[in-house]
Chain A
Amino acid sequence: MSFLTIKYALFLFIAILIYYIFPKKYRWITLLISSYIFYYISSKFLTIFLLISTITIYLAGLFINKINISEKQLSKNIKPEEKKQYKNNIKKQKRLIVLLTIIINFGILGVLKYSGFALNNINHLLSIFNTPPMPIMTFVLPLGISYYTLMALSYVVDVYRGKLKATKNFGKLALYLSFFPQMIEGPISKFDQTAKSLYEGHKFKIDNLIYGISLIILGVFKKLVIADRAGIYVNNIFKTTPHGLPMFLGAILYTLQIYAEFSGCMDIVLGSGKMFGVNLPENFKRPFFSKSIQEFWRRWHITLGAWIKDYIFYPISLSKLNMKTGSFFKKHLPKSLAKFLIVAFPLLFVWLYNGIWHGASFKYIAYGLYYYILIMIGILLAPLLLKIRTKLKINQENIIYKIYEMLRTTLFVVIGMMLFRSHSLMTFIKSFMNLFKKGPINIMDFGLKPFDFIVLIIYIIALIIIGIYQEKGIVIYDKIKKQNIFIKYLIYFVAIISIIILGIYGKGYDTSSFIYGQF
């Protein structure tokens, strides 16, 4: 079910109605049922996969719990010499359970999402040896599998790490994993972030409804007015890969498009959650105010970056292997190079995973590696840049320097987005080369009129101004709330009328096709 349909609005309305009609302690059940109905409408019998994931992590959690309880009871009777061995055994048992759960869940995701890609490449290899290719099955993906699989594994690992106590309440866990607004594009929440809030029934507060609706209106505006408008130019330009400025503009507009669309979708998701009194985690925090690539990935798709940091980066970087290697390098290499090497290994996995998470193709792997290389170069050059800055007496806190850093970061992101949007790695390389050639094309030839560009520019300016206020800690929504009722309604009025007049929806009007043609 797409968020931008009357179907979803109706579904949301009914789900909210039912939620608040029921007494507080049963409200979570209505959420669980709504979520599974939503999931079934979207994925039909593929719902079984969501259930399998839920069941595996539920059982894994209970087993780990059981082991912990028996350890507490039995460890008193263990002799001190055998304690270390005993503790290791316990750890091995728990590890095995977690490993099994990971294999099952990532296995399902792997087969459904990546087997086609893997088999394709294997077949290419086989064809070199004149071996007949293996049959490839393509699968329809269960809704949100890339998101809920990560959420499921975060639960198991957190229980294993002792951060969480496993829940005996299957329904509570099922709701955490299936809450319907999160099923389309996330956010990827952790169990201790949302499970409690989802489970406890919330009192009806008109403020929550208003806030939710406001966020949804904002999201619809970003998608229909900005994202889809930029998308017209983007779709046309990426069909033909022309030269020079229009191509570069295409990359910029694609970055704008994906930002408006993804963050707008998140507005609708968080707004929907808010209407149930549930606060879902943010995924965007003014990403184009980032001064470095690392910072960008802490402000863009925040929950994915956080998940990768907690479940890939830290485990690998703090592993015995990495730590021992790091110590070795520290003894024999200069400090900055040692720092570089101690993170280079785990970061490779981080960015390979980030790339492949986005899609099953070499293009996405290249996308991840692109940021890996940028970050690695950044770390290597850091001491040199510091020297240059000190020589030129440039203060890092200087506003001009900060703007330079933001523009530089945005430029790298735009190029990364160009790769992301290109049809393949090859096409991207061709397009990138073409950027520096001059072409006889007019940016007005790709479906947008000057009026449309003005709309987009006004939005970007508004984004910058609002962003500056938000960076200073001002919460725009609170400011609006303080205004008098006329101004508040005026803002909603302008928003709704703008969506209806400026939104990209329905058929366009083409004079020639309306000229008296057929009877």
Chain B
Amino acid sequence: MKQLIEILENIKPGVDFKKEKHLIDDEIIDSFDIVTIVSQINEEFDIDFPVTEIMPENFNSAEALYKVITKIIND
């Protein structure tokens, strides 16, 4: 989880990813950011983030994103 927060802060500095719960709804991160984030996640967690998981719910908060990453690793 800490690793994930680091990634996020690297890509989008100035946002409090520990607290924010409406990253997508409030348009704090956009589709370009998502692609950049996923690219970094793929590298660091050694996964292939599938298109099927690109959903607003999964990116609205760091926790939600971490849950998805875990799910992908376990599959």
Contact, chains A and B (beta carbon distance below 8 A): yes
Contact between B39 and A330, CB atoms less than 8 A apart: yes
Contact between B52 and A162, CB atoms less than 8 A apart: yes
Contact between B31 and A318, CB atoms less than 8 A apart: no
Residue of B nearest to A161 (CB): B52
Chain A residues near B49 (CB, 8 Å)?
318
Residue of A nearest to B39 (CB): A326
Chain B residues near A313 (CB, 8 Å)?
31
Q: Give residues 306-348 of A contacting B (CB, 8 Å).
A: 309-310, 313-315, 317-318, 320, 323, 326-327, 330, 339, 342-343, 346
Chain B residues near A323 (CB, 8 Å)?
38-39, 42, 48
Q: What is the bound-complex CA distance between A343 and B36, given in angstroms?
A: 8
Q: Give residues 1-60 of B contacting A (CB, 8 Å).
A: 30-32, 35-36, 38-39, 42-43, 48-52, 54
Once A314-B31, A343-B32 are accepted as A-B contacts, the answer to whether A163 and B39 lie under 8 Å apart by CB is no
Q: What is the bound-complex CA distance between A343 and B34, given in angstroms?
A: 10
Chain B residues near A346 (CB, 8 Å)?
35
- The residue that A314 contacts in the complex, of B36, B39, B43, B51, with Cβ under 8 A, is B51
Once A294-B30, A323-B42, A327-B43 are accepted as A-B contacts, the answer to whether A317 and B52 lie under 8 Å apart by CB is no
Chain B residues near A318 (CB, 8 Å)?
35, 38, 49-51, 54
Q: What is the bound-complex CA distance between A310 and B30, given in angstroms?
A: 13
Chain B residues near A309 (CB, 8 Å)?
31
* Chain B CB within 8 A of A245 CB: no
Once A294-B30, A314-B31, A343-B32 are accepted as A-B contacts, the answer to whether A327 and B39 lie under 8 Å apart by CB is yes
* Chain B CB within 8 A of A379 CB: yes
Contact between B32 and A339, CB atoms less than 8 A apart: yes
Q: Give the tally of cross-chain contacts (CB within 8 A).
A: 42
Chain A residues near B35 (CB, 8 Å)?
314, 317-318, 342-343, 346
Contact between B39 and A320, CB atoms less than 8 A apart: no
Chain B residues near A327 (CB, 8 Å)?
39, 42-43
Nearest-CB distance from B40 to chain A (Å)?
8
Q: What is the bound-complex CA distance between A320 and B43, given in angstroms?
A: 12
Instruction: Please tell me the size bucket of the interface on B.
Output: 10 to 19
Residue of A nearest to B38 (CB): A318
Once A294-B30, A339-B36 are accepted as A-B contacts, the answer to whether A314 and B54 lie under 8 Å apart by CB is yes
Q: What is the bound-complex CA distance between A5 and B35, given in angstroms?
A: 46
Residue of B nearest to A343 (CB): B32
Most buried by A among B32, B48, B54: B32
Q: What is the bound-complex CA distance between A346 and B49, given in angstroms?
A: 16
Chain A residues near B39 (CB, 8 Å)?
323, 326-327, 330, 342
Chain A residues near B42 (CB, 8 Å)?
323, 327
Nearest-CB distance from A94 to chain B (Å)?
12
Nearest-CB distance from B67 to chain A (Å)?
17
Chain B residues near A294 (CB, 8 Å)?
30, 32
Q: What is the bound-complex CA distance between A477 and B48, given in angstroms?
A: 46
Contact between B51 and A161, CB atoms less than 8 A apart: yes
Contact between A163 and B43, CB atoms less than 8 A apart: no
Chain B residues near A310 (CB, 8 Å)?
54
Chain B residues near A162 (CB, 8 Å)?
52
Q: What is the bound-complex CA distance between A313 and B38, given in angstroms?
A: 13
Residue of A nearest to B30 (CB): A294
Nearest-CB distance from A20 to chain B (Å)?
35
Chain A residues near B51 (CB, 8 Å)?
161, 314-315, 318
Q: What is the bound-complex CA distance between A266 and B8, given in angstroms?
A: 38
Q: What is the bound-complex CA distance between A183 and B39, given in angstroms?
A: 38
Q: What is the bound-complex CA distance between A429 and B28, given in angstroms?
A: 37
Nearest-CB distance from B38 to chain A (Å)?
6
- The residue that A163 contacts in the complex, of B30, B36, B52, with Cβ under 8 A, is B52
> Can you list 29 A-B contacts (CB < 8 A)?
A162-B52, A163-B52, A294-B30, A294-B32, A309-B31, A310-B54, A313-B31, A314-B31, A314-B51, A314-B54, A315-B51, A318-B35, A318-B38, A318-B49, A318-B50, A318-B51, A323-B38, A323-B42, A323-B48, A326-B39, A327-B42, A327-B43, A330-B39, A339-B32, A339-B36, A342-B36, A342-B39, A343-B36, A346-B35
Query: What 5 new A-B contacts, CB under 8 Å, besides A162-B52, A342-B39?
Result: A161-B52, A314-B31, A317-B35, A318-B38, A346-B35
